[in-house]
Amino acid sequence: MSTPGLNIPHCWGHRGASAEFPENTLRSFEQAIKDGSEGIESDVHITADDVIVMFHDTTLDRTTNGKGLITARNYFGADGLEHVRTLKEPVQQIPTFKELCTLLMEPENRHVSLNVDIKPNNDPERLFRIMGEVVHQFPNYENDLAPRLILGLWHPKFIQPAKHHVPMLRRAHIGASPADAVKYFWNDCDAFSIRFPSLVGAEGQAFLRKAREANKDVMVWTVNRKDEMVEAARYGVKAILTDYTADLHKLRDEMKVDFDAVHRQNVSPWFSWASLRYYAPAVYTYQRACRFEVERHAGESFDGARLA
């Protein structure tokens, strides 16, 4: 039987249904929706001709037949990114933010949210100005689109520009440290997307309680193991970000029928000790490394942004 009061988390496709299709492509997004996802997570960068594209890396090399920095290339034109294709099959084009919003505005997709992962190397003023211009192009965007767009902010320097240029969009912090989430983002974000291992221990469980009391949503990334999916559901998170959207959808159906049985079948009584990733030293080391990389790419410390 189901545990009383337990709400089964939403499924958000991490870069779409990226285990099956090329990540951050329209085909991947479409499949995640077909698999039953209530949300999609995708990353953004800006091209030289001011087009926002859905892409994770700063360079094209890892996942496409293109080369070089996205920021140095135009999207349109003879040598534009519109001609670049993914290495993984089925071969796909790099989509724009406008194309993804158009997909979300299709009548059958109006229940789907989009978590826009704002990579810290972006220029906040430029990015949010262009993003606002795109969103405003859609009829009745205030009711039909904007409420479903969630800005995922890694660095506090993005908070004020987001408030200025796209005040109609919700803000969430993406990170690995509950302490940083509270110190730098708590008053300015409605939700928090936290790396799963950071929620397993005492610090993470205290953060979940604090968020619940403040009526703030917590999502977890990136959860591809079945035992972690079930445990995340027990934590009461709002959404699970996963590459395996079809698998999570099937598991959610099973949890709705008898959560306790699914938990017994998949989660060891010793779960918290089952992986070194959950141990406090490993969690802390990852948190420090993550913040270092975010600050390096942003070109500014968290404290510097807060004092600016």
233 phi and psi angles, rounded to 5 deg: -65, -40
List the end-to-end C-alpha distance of the chain, in Å, as a whole number.
53
The fold adopted by the segment(s) 10-307 is TIM Barrel (3.20.20)
Contacts for 104 with CB less than 8 Å, ≥ 6 apart:
110, 112, 114, 145, 148
pLDDT in tens, the chain (308 residues): 455 558 999 999 999 999 999 999 999 999 999 999 999 999 999 999 999 999 999 999 999 999 999 999 999 999 999 999 999 999 999 999 999 999 999 999 999 999 999 999 999 999 999 999 999 999 999 999 999 999 999 999 999 999 999 999 999 999 999 999 999 999 999 999 999 999 999 999 999 999 999 999 999 999 999 999 999 999 999 999 999 999 999 999 999 999 999 999 999 999 999 999 999 999 999 999 999 999 999 999 999 987 66
* Alpha helix segments (H runs only) across 191-244: 197-200, 202-213, 226-235
**Global confidence as pTM:** 0.96
* Alpha helix segments (H runs only) across the chain: 26-34, 97-104, 124-135, 141-144, 159-165, 178-180, 197-200, 202-213, 226-235, 245-266, 280-298, 302-307
Amino acid identity of residue 84, one-letter, is V
Domain ranges of the chain: 10-307
| DSSP 8-state assignment for residue 2 | P
CB 261 within 8 A of CB 267: no
